[in-house]
Each structure stands twice: as C-alpha cells, then as structure tokens.
Amino acid sequence: MSFANLKKQSSLGSLTSKLVKEVEKMNTTSSGVDDRLWKPEMDKTGNGYAVIRFLPAPDGEDLPWAKMYSHAFQGPGGWYIENSLTTTGGKDPVSEYNRELWNTGTEANKEIVRKQKRKLSYYSNIYVVQDKANPENEGGVFLYKFGKKIFDKIMEAMQPEFEDEDPINPFDFWQGANFKLKLKKVAGYWNYDSSEFDRPSALLDDDDALEALWKKEYSLTALTAPDQFKSYDDLKKRLDYVLGTKGTPRFQDQETVEQEEQFRRENRGEETSFTPSFKSSQESELPEELSQKLSSLSSSSSSDDDDDDTLSYFQKLADG
C-alpha cells in the first residue's frame, strides 16, 4: 500500500472498520472454544437431560474412544495445566515429582500428591439425539469428553454384572443403544449416577445415512498424537516455574491466564479435580473475576471418582 492510499483510507475511515473486524475475528478464533466438543447443560432447576449415541471407531482406527491423562494444579508460580506424557507411556515430570514426594512417606507430601494427581478423561464421537438446551446440536456429530463415571457405565453395558442382563456394544450403529444423560447437582457437584442406556436399537434405519455419519467422525488418535503434548524438557521447565524452584513470577504470565480460562471452559461442571496445592500471594494478583471463577471451580467441581486410584498408582511406583 502506498502512502497516498494510506492517507486516502484514513479519510474514508476504512482502516478503522478493517481493524475492528480483525479484532472481532481474533476474539472469535482465540476464544479457546472447540466447536467439535459437545457438552451437556443444566437448566434453571439445576438438572440437565440429553440423549446421545456413542459412535463406532472412525475409519482406519481401532478404538471408539481416546484416553487422556492430564494435570491441573496450582503452585507458588501459577497454574500447571498440561497433558501428561504418561498418556502415551512416556515419562512425565509431574509423575516423577509426585513419586519423589510419595516416597518420603510423610502424610503432608502424600496430600500434595493427591491434589496434583493425574486426571483421567476419555473422548468419543457421539451423535446428538436430543438436546433441548441447544436443539441446533440435534442430528450433529461431535466429540464428547467424559470421565471415569460415564466410562464405567459403558463398561457395565458391555460386561453386565448379572446373568439376566444381555451385554451390548454401546458403540454399534445397529445393536447399540442411546445413552440418556441425566445430570443433577449433588453436594454442589455435577452428578451422572442416574444416566443410563436405553434398549438396543438401530440409530437410523438408513445404512447410507449411517455411513454418512460415520464419515463425519473426528479422528480420535489425533487427540493423543505427539503434537498434543509438550516435550519433557518444556514440561519440566513449566513445572519448576509453577513450583517456584526456578523463580516465582510477580504476575501471572499470559500463558497461565489462557490455560486457566481454557481449562475452566472445557471442564465446567465436569468430573474433574482442580484443587490448589498451595496458597500464595499469586492468587490476589489474578483479575478478581477470574480469581472468583477459579475458586468456584476448584470448590464445586472436584470429584473423587474421575481419576485412577491415586493411592494404588503411587504405591506401585514406590514399590518399583
């Protein structure tokens, strides 16, 4: 652009409108909201209801779910919110640090380990049968992130406890079953205990339509691909920073703030543990609104049934 054109656009005000549009675009694309992900919502009474169908593994993939371990906890240097390399069988600095703490044998250190333990999440492709809170989602294919509670219900359907119950494959187009997601608050936590599978039935009567849905599925293996994890060295650097062993920042860095906001959005009301491991002056330096939201999240969305058994996990590590 020439200087003359620059001056001309200035007089027309076109640069201003262009910049405003660019900022709006940036705000939209950097909001951290993943349009692929579906989440249930509660109504004004504090309950939620939706009907979904778990879909088969995508074309070329073996499993209809992906399994992810992650960490989310606070230290003197801010929040550590990262995917764990143990997801793919690698060494992870937080797991190593937790093992060191656990091996000290002190109850205080074991309590720290419990607060910064791994969180277990699953991802599956789903078809939304009914979603009154957001009816525009009905008939769509989405990724659904869920915890151990719902995964256990899937396994119970596949391997029923009693002889008079027939096993079903919830991920089957023809012999599977719709999942009635019933959500309520119990002691301030989102609770899925009442959720259940309906009777087995075909999702749709048209195989061509089913094939079209199948082709819309998102890759699950891509969710745990190497590019979804930071390197060991980068995670170790971040951990040292959060623990304050490599210098404690005066203010929250931008990455930490963005991580907090994204974690809050993705795990709103979910089966998750997000409990501060430390108290520090850092908390008062957060923007008041964000600090209140994080405080609310850590106190209301902690669940004791969404992670692998911490005690047995670290005891195995201690035993070598």
Pick from 29-38, 263-272, 274-283 the range whose average pLDDT is largest.
Answer: 29-38
pTM of the model: 0.72
Between 112 and 249, where is the model more confident?
Answer: 112
Question: What pLDDT score does 81 carry?
Answer: 95
What's the rounded Cα separation, in Å, for the pair 81 and 275? 12
Mean pLDDT, all residues of the chain: 79
Question: What pLDDT score does 46 carry?
Answer: 84
What's the rounded Cα separation, in Å, for the pair 112 and 106? 10
How many residues are present in the chain? 320
C-alpha angle 215-217-219 in degrees, rounded to nearest 5:
115
Average pLDDT over residues 1-26: 57
Question: What pLDDT score does 314 carry?
Answer: 43
Question: What pLDDT score does 185 carry?
Answer: 87
Residue 169 has pLDDT above 50, yes or no: yes
Please write the tens of the pLDDT for every residue from 63-119. Answer: 999 999 999 999 998 999 999 999 999 999 999 999 999 999 999 999 999 999 999
Between 175 and 13, where is the model more confident?
Answer: 175
C-alpha angle 87-88-89 in degrees, rounded to nearest 5:
95
Residues paired with residue 189 on neighbouring β-strands, in sequence order: 186
Residue 49 has pLDDT above 80, yes or no: yes
Number of other CB atoms surrounding residue 304 within 10 Å: 10
Q: Is 203 in contact with 52 (CB distance < 8 Å)?
A: no
Residue 27 has pLDDT above 90, yes or no: no
Average pLDDT over residues 26-45: 75
Residue 247 has pLDDT above 60, yes or no: no
Q: How confident is the model at residue 15 (pLDDT cuts 50, 70, 90)?
A: low
Please write the tens of the pLDDT for every residue from 226-240. Answer: 999 999 999 999 999
Question: What pLDDT score does 287 carry?
Answer: 44
What's the rounded Cα separation, in Å, for the pair 95 and 74? 15
How far from chain centre, in Å, is Cα 176? Answer: 25
Q: How confident is the model at residue 13 (pLDDT cuts 50, 70, 90)?
A: low
Residue 12 has pLDDT above 70, yes or no: no
Question: What pLDDT score does 21 carry?
Answer: 55
* Domains identified in the chain and CATH numbers: 37-318 (3.90.198.10)
Question: What pLDDT score does 5 carry?
Answer: 63
Q: How confident is the model at residue 33 (pLDDT cuts 50, 70, 90)?
A: confident
Q: Which residues contact 54 (CB under 8 A, 6 or more apart)?
A: 64, 124, 125, 126, 144, 154, 170, 171, 176, 179
Please write the tens of the pLDDT for every residue from 171-182. Answer: 999 999 999 999
